[in-house]
Every structure is written in C-alpha cells, then in structure tokens.
C-alpha cells in the first residue's frame, strides 16, 4: 500500500513477501548501516509485523519502504514516528542500503514524510543522528533542520538532535 509518492520514489508499507524480507535483511544486517543504530536483534518478518502493529492506530506514523520508482527496488526505510521514550517528539529518520547511498533518496523520502506530517498538523519534527554520521547530518541540513546540540536522552546513545518547525 502506497503511503506517499515523490518525484522518484514510492513510499509504501513493507510487506511480508520474500523480496521485501530479503531486502530488509540485507539492509539491517550490514555493519555499515547498523553501526549508526541502537543495538538490536533483527528478523525481517518480525520487524514488518512490529512496525505494522506499532503504527496501526495512527496513519500519520510508520516505518515505510522507500522504493525507487524507476527500478522497483526498495532503497531502504524512512520512519516517521514518536520517539520511543520521548515526550511526544516526532522523529524522522532513514536507513538506506549502501547501494542506494549518494542518490538523494534519503532527503527526498524524509522531505516527503515531513511535509505529510506538517499537512496532518504536526508542528515540529526532530532527527537524531550519531555525531560522526556526516551523511545524515547533511540530509538534516538539506531539510533545513536546526541543530539543538547533543543528547543521550534517547536509546542510551549520544546523538545530535535537530529540529524543523512547520511553516507558518
């Protein structure tokens, strides 16, 4: 099911089909992806079900597949959700397969998620980025996010926290 579309991307729910599960496994078992995430055990089918259940009650939120329209390949995941353990802060994030890095997909998918959230009345959006993740910090800058400094308030990890307010 399509959640939203951008010029080059179809953002949709992850499914339980073998193509999606294999791609999810390939993304979330790569050290170059997971080294910037909180430690976790990953199993693709469980992740799809957990994401579906977690966001079932509120269509504004999700952890969705970012599919490249031209190829039909899932480049990765864009998430838009309340930060776990937070005080209602809404997070935008992205986890892309290394074969999809450097194409602007993270910025395009995140911008679509943020615009969709703002249209639904969400007043501000945050990103949490490991301090050494220059590529994701660059995505935040392209989105127009303002740095708020470092925090260890979420996930037990030190992260740069950035904020973007809805246009007035």
Number of domains present in the structure of the chain: 1
Whole-number Å distance between alpha carbons of 28 and 71: 21
Q: What is the pTM of this model?
A: 0.92
pLDDT tens for each residue of 88-122:
999 999 999 999 999 999 999 999 999 999 999 99
Give me the count of residues in the chain: 168
For range 121-137, the mean pLDDT = 96
**Looking at residue 80, which CATH number applies to its domain?**
3.40.630.30
Percentage of residues in the chain with pLDDT exceeding 90?
A: 73
Range of the domain at 61: 2-165
pLDDT tens for each residue of 151-167:
999 988 899 999 999 99
Query: Which strands, in side-by-side order, build the sheet including 62-68?
Result: 2-5, 9-13, 62-68, 74-82, 90-96, 124-129, 159-165, 146-151
Whole-number Å distance between alpha carbons of 3 and 21: 19
Whole-number Å distance between alpha carbons of 106 and 84: 21
Whole-number Å distance between alpha carbons of 166 and 157: 27
pLDDT, the chain, mean: 92
Q: Which of left, alpha, beta for 89 (phi over 0: left; psi -120 to 50: alpha)?
A: beta
């Amino acid at each position: 099911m399509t959640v939203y579309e951008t010029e080059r991307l179809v953002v949709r729910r992850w499914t339980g089909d073998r193509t999606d599960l294999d791609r999810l496994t390939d993304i979330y078992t790569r050290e170059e992806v997971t080294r910037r995430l909180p430690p976790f055990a990953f199993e693709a089918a469980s992740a799809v079900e957990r994401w579906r259940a977690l966001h079932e009650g509120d269509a504004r939120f999700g952890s969705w597949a970012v599919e490249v329209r031209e190829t039909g390949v899932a480049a990765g995941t864009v998430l838009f959700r309340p930060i776990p353990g937070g005080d209602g802060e809404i997070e935008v994030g992205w986890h892309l397969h290394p074969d999809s890095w450097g194409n602007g997909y993270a910025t395009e998918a995140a911008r679509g998620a943020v615009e969709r959230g703002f249209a639904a009345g969400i007043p501000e959006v945050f990103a949490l980025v490991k301090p050494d993740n220059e590529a994701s910090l660059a995505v935040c800058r392209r989105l127009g996010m303002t740095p708020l400094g470092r925090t260890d308030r979420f996930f037990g990890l030190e992260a740069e926290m950035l904020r973007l307010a809805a246009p007035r």
